């Protein structure tokens, strides 16, 4: 018997940024769909590293990063993305 799986899509760094920073983007809608199991999202370490670079270099208060490594690690773990 064939196992059912949702359609799969690959996120690149720009897609991940749009998904996490823009609530009405197509990428954000895809992320929401992945939460409900309607699609399956895949991304590799370069996508995550691109997002990290952007956050660590732009989200600062008094020259210090707004988010800790632990917080960003928790964010990554909570995303409905299969990391390749």
Burial 24-41 (b: 16+ CB within 10 A, else e): eeebbebbebbeeeebbb
What pLDDT, on a 0 to 100 scale, did the predictor assign at position 75? 97
pLDDT above 80 (res 1): no
pLDDT by residue (tens digit) across 22-81? 999 999 999 999 999 999 999 999 999 999 999 999 999 999 999 999 999 999 999 999
Pair 18, 28: CB distance under 8 Å: yes
Q: Is 82 strand, coil or helix? A: strand
pLDDT above 70 (res 2): no
Domain regions of the chain by residue span: 7-83
What pLDDT, on a 0 to 100 scale, did the predictor assign at position 4? 79
If one counts every other C-beta atom within 10 angstroms of the C-beta of residue 72, the result is 16
Q: pLDDT class for 5, splitting at 50, 70, 90?
A: confident
């Amino acid at each position: 018997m064939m196992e059912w799986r949702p359609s799969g899509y690959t996120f690149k760094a720009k897609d991940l940024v749009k998904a996490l920073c823009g609530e009405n983007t197509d990428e954000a809608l895809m992320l929401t769909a992945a939460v409900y199991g309607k699609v399956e999202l895949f991304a590799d370490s370069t996508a995550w590293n691109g997002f990290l670079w952007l956050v660590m270099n732009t989200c600062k208060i008094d020259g210090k990063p707004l988010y800790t490594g632990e917080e960003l690690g928790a964010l990554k773990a909570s995303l409905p993305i299969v990391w390749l």
